[in-house]
Amino acid sequence: MQTTTRVAVIGGGVVGASVLYHLTKLGWSDVMLLERSELTSGSTWHAAGGFHTLNGDTNMAALQGYTIRLYKELEEITGLSCGLHHVGGVTLADNQDRFDMLLAERAKHRFMGMETEIVGPEEIRRIAPVTNTDGIIGALYDPLDGHLDPSGTTHAYAKAARMGGATIETHCMVRETNQRADGTWDVVTDNGTIHAEHVVNAGGLWAREVGKMAGIYFPLHPMEHQYLVTEDVPMIVEMTAGGNEHPHVMDPAGESYLRQEGRGLCIGFYEQPCRPWAVDGTSWEFGQDLLPNDFDKIEQSIDFAYKRFPDLERAGVKSVIHGPFTFAPDGNPLVGPVPGVRNYWSACGVMAGFSQGGGVGLMLAQWMIEGEPERDTMAMDVARFGDWISPGYTLPKVIENYQKRFSVAYPNEELPAARPNRTTPMYDIFTGMGAVWGQQYGLEVANYFAKGNEPTYETPSFRRSDAFEATAREVQAVRNGVGINEVQNFGKYSVTGPRARAWLNRIMAGRVPTPGRLSLTPMLSPKGKLIGDFTMSCLSETEFQLTASYGAQAFHWRWFLQHLEDGMHIENISDRRTGFQVAGPRARDVLAACTRADIGNMRFLDLRRLTVGMTDCIVQRVSYTGDLGYEIYCDATGQRTLWHTLWAAGQPLGMVPFGMRAMMSLRLDRFFGSWMAEFSPDYTAAETGLDRFISFKKNDAFIGRAAAEAERATGPARRLVSFEVDADDADVQGYEPIWLDGAVVGFCTSGGYSHHAGKSVAFGFLPSDRVAEAPDVAIEILGQMRPARVITRPLFDPDGARMRG
C-alpha cells in the first residue's frame, strides 16, 4: 500500500467514489480511497436507487440534474452498467397547498431549462395507471426521474476513478487522523500510515466517528428506513410485456415513493412514527447488514398506500429492505472545507446519494482544485452550521426532517423541533410583548409582534399570511414615528492590530473608512463572485468592526481564517456584541433623550462611542430600513439595561418594537438587497449593483480585483432590477421566471409587499441588453402570469434626504 497521497478519501460508498472520480476528472491523479470493508458497505448497497431532480433549492436541483446526466457518461467511460431506468415520475398534490408548491417548483424549472410539466388527474392516470387519483388536484411530471443499480453505479464511479489514476484500498480501516504542524495529515490505518495533504470525510453511517478522530463534530444522524418489494402485479406484468415501464410516483400525502421493480412494485415510506438509529454512535461491526423488519411503524402508511395504489393490496410482499441512512438537521448534505481545520473536507449526510452524489463530488473537487465551486453551494455547505450545534440539537431536528420529507415546504414556515435553543437577553421581554418567533442559525429572532387576539403563530402559506396586518402596523409605525428591534441577527467581527487596515484593504473590495466612519463593501472570491456584503466600521486606526449576515458566520469565519496575516487579529463577536436598531423620523429624538452627548451633527455613516443611559455603546448612523436610524451596539450583558433606557425614552414618542417581517418589507422601499437572495456566491458585484461600493482607485490588490476589473470593462451580461408587480394574494418569494415577448428571459431573487407604498415589489435579473426595452414584463407566480413593470426610483425617500439628513 502506498504511504503518501495528495487526497485520502475515507469511505467507499457512492459519495466517496464520486469524490474520487471527480478529483481525477479535474486533474488530480494522486488520490486514494480508503474503505474499511467492501465498496457500497453501509447505506449504499441497500438503497432503493431512485433519483429525481425536484428540490426546493435551485442549485441543489441543478446538481441533481448534473448527477442524473452523468450516469450515461460513466457507462461510456467504463463500459460498466449503472442499471439506468429513465422512466419519469409524478409528484402528486391532493390539496391546494401541495399544488401551490408544485406550481412554484415548475416556475423555477422554467428558467433552469428543466422539462417538467404540471399534469391533471386524467393525465396522471395515463402516465401512472397504478394510481388512484381520487382527491388528486394535479401533479408535477419530470421525465428525468428514474432508478438505477446502486452497486453497479458505485463500481462505475470507482472504475472511472482508477482509470484516472486513483487508488482504492478496501479492507483498510482508518484508526486515526492526526494533523501535522504544516496542515497535512497522517491517516493511520490497520494496514499502515498514509501521509496525505488533504482528508475527505465521506464516512456515511460512520461520518460522526471519522470526524471524532480529528476532533470535529458533524451534525448528522442515521434514521431507520424501510421499503417493500412486491410479488408480480398483473398491471405491471402487462405493461412490461408491452415494452413499457411504470414511472415513479411520489405521494406526499401518503409519505411514500413508488416505482416498478421487475414485474412488481417497490414502495418506501417516510413514516411519522420513525426511529433514529445508533443514537450513541455507529458500530464498526455494522456493514452489509439490515435491520429487523418493523411493520408496526409503517402500518398506517401501508393502509394509506393501499387506497392510493389499490394493486398493492392484492400483491404479496416478496422482500423487505430495512436499513439506516444519514440525515443532517435540514436534510441537505454537509459538503466543503470544515471551518477552522486546514485541509479537512466534508462529503457527509448525503441521504439522496443517487440524486446528489455526482453533484457533491463535482462541487467538492472544484473547491479543492480550483479554490471555489462553480455555483453557490450554501444549501449544502458544512459551514451553514456553527459551533453552537450539538448532538442534542441534531437528533430532534433530524427526526423532524425525516417526518417532513414529503411535507409541503412553505416559504414562511418556522419548524418547531429543538426550539427555543439559543436566545438573547431580550427573549422573555419580547415574548411578553407578543413576539412571534423565527430562527436564524439556531437563534430565536422576532418575526413580528402580535396584538390583542392576533394569532401568536404564523400559518404557513405560499400566499400572504396572517402576519400581514401585524407587519403592516409595524412598518407604518417605523415610517411615521419610531421603531426598535435587535441587531443581534448580524454577524459581527472585531479586527485589530497594526496590520488591520492593510488586511481589510486586501480582503475587502471597498474603501476602508477613516476613524469615526463606516463604509459598505462587497467581499469577493478570486473569480469575482460575492462572498459577502459587509459594513466596515473604523473605531480607530487599529480597531475595526465588520458586520454582515448572522447566518453566514461560519462561512465568513472560514474565509477570514483562510486569509489571516501577521500583524492583525480577528475575533467573532457576534454573540458578545449586541444591541438595537432605532429607526424612523423620531429616531434621533429617542437617542438624544438617552445620552448627554450632542448627536445633532452626527452624519450618515458616522460612528461614535457614546454612553446611552448607563451603557457604553458603539452608535452607528445607518439603518437597513432605509430611514433615519441608528445601530446601537453594546456588550450582551448590558443589553437589557440598554433596552429599558431606549424603551422609556421612546414611549412618549410612540415607539413600537418591530420584527424581521417588517424589516424585509421596509428594505423593499429603498431597493436594498439581502444576503442569499440578491447577493450570493452565484452573482458578481457588477451584476447586483454592489460594484458601486468597490474602490477601484485604491492601490491594493484586493481579492477578486482582476475579475471585477474585467467585468467592469465589458459590463455584466445581466443586471439586477426592481419591479412593481400586479400581484393578487401572493408575492414573489424567489426564483420565479420573468417573461418578455413570450419567453423566459430572467428570474426573481426575492420580493414581497411594500406596506409603505401599498405595492408588491420584486427583484430579479434581466439580460443587460434587454433592461432598457423591458419596462413591462410578466412574472409567473404560482402558475399565474402577473404583469410587472421595471421601476428605478425608490418607493420611499427617493433622494435619501431623510436617511442622510
For the chain, give every domain's residue range: 4-327, 482-488+576-654, 489-574+684-714
**Sheet containing 607-612: which strands, arranged edge to edge?**
607-612, 615-620, 629-635, 577-583, 483-486, 656-657
**Rounded CA separation 462/498 (Å):** 51
Identify the CA nearest to 33 among candidates 209, 235, 172: 172
Instruction: Tell me what pLDDT residue 63 has.
Output: 87
The more confidently predicted of residues 57 and 793 is 793
**Rounded CA separation 681/683 (Å):** 5
Identify the CA nearest to 287 among candidates 15, 45, 49, 50: 45
Instruction: Tell me what pLDDT residue 805 has.
Output: 86
**Rounded CA separation 519/502 (Å):** 16
Mean pLDDT across 554-570: 94
CA 14 from centroid of its chain's CA atoms:
23
Instruction: Tell me what pLDDT residue 144 has.
Output: 87
pLDDT confidence band for 45 (50 / 70 / 90): low
State residue 789 phi and psi, 5-degree precision: -130, 140
**Rounded CA separation 317/228 (Å):** 7
pLDDT confidence band for 693 (50 / 70 / 90): very high
**Rounded CA separation 753/393 (Å):** 34
pLDDT confidence band for 609 (50 / 70 / 90): very high
Fold of 4-327: FAD/NAD(P)-binding domain (3.50.50)
Quote the cell numbers at residue 40: 457500497
In whole numbers, what is the pLDDT of the chain averaged over residues? Answer: 95
Please classify residue 748 by burial: count the beta carbons closer than 10 Å to its beta carbon, then call 0-12 exposed, 13-18 middle and 19+ buried.
Answer: buried
Count of positions (residues) in the chain: 805
**Rounded CA separation 197/342 (Å):** 10
User: Domain 489-574+684-714 maps to which CATH number in 3.40.920.10, 3.30.70.270, 3.30.70.1400, 1.10.3720.10?
Assistant: 3.30.70.1400
Q: How far apart are the first and last CA of the chain?
A: 71
Q: Is 392 helix (H, G, I), strand (E, B) or coil?
A: helix
**Rounded CA separation 690/523 (Å):** 10
Mean pLDDT across 1-9: 96
3-state helix, strand, coil in the chain (%, to 5): 30, 30, 40
Given a cut of 80, whether residue 773 has pLDDT beyond it is no
Instruction: Tell me what pLDDT residue 57 has.
Output: 82
Sequence letter at residue 25 = K
Quote the cell numbers at residue 592: 438624544
Quote the cell numbers at residue 97: 397547498
Identify the CA nearest to 382 among candidates 440, 423, 341: 341
Instruction: Tell me what pLDDT residue 155 has.
Output: 95
Instruction: Tell me what pLDDT residue 30 has.
Output: 98
Question: Could you tell me if 430 and 488 are in contact, meaning their C-beta atoms sit under 8 angstroms apart?
Answer: no
Identify the CA nearest to 37 among candidates 282, 371, 240, 320: 282
Report percent pLDDT > 70 for the chain.
Answer: 100
The more confidently predicted of residues 625 and 84 is 625
Mean pLDDT across 281-289: 89
DSSP for 234-277?
HHHHHHHHTT--PPEEEEGGGTEEEEEETTEEEEEE--SS--B-
Mean pLDDT across 184-188: 98
Question: Could you tell me if 577 and 515 are in contact, meaning their C-beta atoms sit under 8 angstroms apart?
Answer: no
Instruction: Tell me what pLDDT residue 111 has.
Output: 82
State residue 394 phi and psi, 5-degree precision: -60, -45
Given a cut of 80, whether residue 448 has pLDDT beyond it is yes
pLDDT confidence band for 335 (50 / 70 / 90): very high
Angle between helical axes of 58-78 and 150-163 (0-180°, round to 10): 70
Q: Is 625 helix (H, G, I), strand (E, B) or coil?
A: coil
Fold of 482-488+576-654: Gyrase A; domain 2 (3.30.1360)
Cis (ω within 30 of 0) for the bond into 420?
Answer: yes
Given a cut of 90, whether residue 289 has pLDDT beyond it is no
β-pairing, 117-119 vs 743-754, is: unpaired
Question: Could you tell me if 352 and 405 are in contact, meaning their C-beta atoms sit under 8 angstroms apart?
Answer: no
Question: Could you tell me if 723 and 762 are in contact, meaning their C-beta atoms sit under 8 angstroms apart?
Answer: yes
Identify the CA nearest to 384 among candidates 430, 349, 424, 423: 349
DSSP symbol at 512: P
